[in-house]
Amino acid sequence: MTSVPPAALPDGYRLAQLGDADRDLMLDMIRWGFVFEPHPEDAGHEVWKPEAGRSVGIWDERGEGAARLAAMHTSYQMRIPVPGGADLPTSGLSWVVVHPSHRRRGLARAMLGAHFNRSLERGEVLSALYAAESGIYGRYGYGPATTGIDLKVGRGATLRDVPGAADLISEIDTLDAAQHGPIVDQVHRAVTRPGWITRDTEALRDRHLLDKPSERRETERLRILIVRDQDGTPRGYALFRRQAKWSHTGSPKGAVQVREAVALDPAAARALWGTLSDLDLMSTVETGFLTPDDPLLHLLVDLRPTEQTLADAVWLRLLDVPAALASRAYAAPVDVVLDISDTMLASNEGRWHLRGDAEGAEVSRTEEPAHLALDVADLAEVYLGGTQLAALAGAGRVRELEPGRLHSTSTGFGWPVAPGMSWGF
């Protein structure tokens, strides 16, 4: 795979790997970039643990005195399940920051180029991120590959009955990371869904279970609901906290705030949401990160009283187009030549002959005429099966160069299980 040509930095700037000695500068840069100050009560609780060798900064060496950190990013070693079940090596990009004094100078493009190079050298086929601003990353070849639904449900919402749900045991406890962490990890890993990134390092697992004092100002400590079968095997869990509220007449108006909810089967989903939606003194249940096909949306007898917000979630970047296309399965046979444009990775540019079905695929460069043309960012958006190629074509983002090729290829790129994941990084 051809490496990314290094983007030119303005005179006086230097790109270099960051390490433990730069930790305080990195934390300060994150505060500048994401506009926050740490809460004093969180001191000693929140510990950021960047993975060794995966942080890069740009130093401003202009003028006299010590160099100043002008931009930075880090990444996590991850694997993303793709349609068909393969787990692809992925670089989870995070904390991309350019200091306000150094914007509009090409520093972000230089950093992203370095990120692509370093990821490819590690054999990472994909890069993934959550975008603080969604308008930024399309220019670098990222596309929104999963969507998430934020849902607010009233207490006592009627749920459909599911056979076996009444036989399951629901237990609620105060979250203890040492005690409950292995259960959370066990259940989370058992999910089969494209895009379902697991937390594969101790740092990521610890961060997800962190219960910061500042988050308890108007709520309680973090709780855990575990759903088990009669043998005691966990079949689902939810991490949540309750916020007590009261109306002017003294009626309870509390909210159940769900951080993460995972169920491995319909009965477990019914038992989990049945418990969360019927807690004393609560008026609503508020949850995020739901996939468009989440069981809760189909357990509810009446969706009209709910409040739903749909938003982009994981943004994906195909660093190695042929490897990525060859690694997933296809819902229907595809035999198509794709003309891919990629302004940052020349090795992805050009025409690729894709032949694939539910058993696998093969991809090769070709000089044959192309059937469809699209940008690598649009290819990323359809890659996990959450968006239809035909939908992008309707917006002019995919061009059908040979009539009749679009719909069959769009069907092949689809998948019966919506992509998604239940947490952010």
Catalytic residue among 137, 140, 330, 383: 137
Cα-Cα-Cα-Cα torsion 316, 320, 325, 326, nearest 10 degrees, comes to -140
**What length is written for the chain?**
425
Give me the pLDDT at residue 2, please. Answer: 45
- CA-CA distance, 130 to 134, in Å (whole number)? 9
User: Residue 281: which region, alpha, beta or left (left: phi > 0; alpha: psi -120 to 50)?
Assistant: left
The structure tokens listed for 141 are: 């070849």
- Number of Cβ within 10 Å of residue 209's Cβ equals 20
Q: Which domains does the chain have, with CATH numbers?
A: 13-144 (3.40.630.30), 149-312 (3.40.630.30), 316-413 (3.30.1050.10)
Question: What are the backbone dihedrals phi and psi of residue 406, each rounded to the nearest 5 degrees, phi first?
Answer: -65, -55
* Helix, strand, coil content of the chain in percent (nearest 5): 25, 30, 40
Residue 404, Cβ neighbours under 10 Å: how many? Answer: 9
CA dihedral 412, 413, 417, 419 (to 10 degrees): 180
Residue 322, class by beta-carbon neighbours within 10 Å (0-12 exposed, 13-18 middle, 19+ buried)?
buried
C-alpha neighbours within 13 Å on the C-beta side of residue 201: 15
Q: How high is the pLDDT of residue 43? A: 85
**Catalytic one of 130, 237, 289, 425:** 425
The whole-angstrom separation of Cα 275 and Cα 170 is: 8
Catalytic residue at 137? yes
Residues 6+ apart with CB under 8 A from 417: 192, 193, 194, 293, 385
Residues placed in the known binding site for acetyl-CoA: 96-98, 104-109
* 3-class SS of residue 298: helix
| Residue 318 · residue 126 · CB < 8 Å | yes
The predicted pLDDT at position 4 comes to 54
Q: Is 425 a catalytic residue?
A: yes
Specify binding-site residues: 96-98, 104-109
Structural Rg of the chain based on CA atoms: 23
| Contact status, residue 99 vs residue 29, Cβ threshold 8 Å | yes
What's the rounded Cα separation, in Å, for the pair 169 and 271?
8
Q: Which two tokens stand for residue 163?
A: 């056979």
For residues 258-287, b (16+ Cβ closer than 10 Å) or e, as one string?
A: bbbbbbbbbbbbbbbbbbbbebeebbbbeb
Beginning with the edge strand found earlier in the chain, give each strand of the sheet holding 307-312 in spatial order.
169-174, 223-228, 234-243, 254-263, 282-290, 147-154, 307-312
Q: Kind of pairing, strands 223-228 and 334-341?
A: unpaired
The residue ranges of the chain whose pLDDT is under 50 are: 1-3
Q: For the whole model, what pTM was predicted? A: 0.94
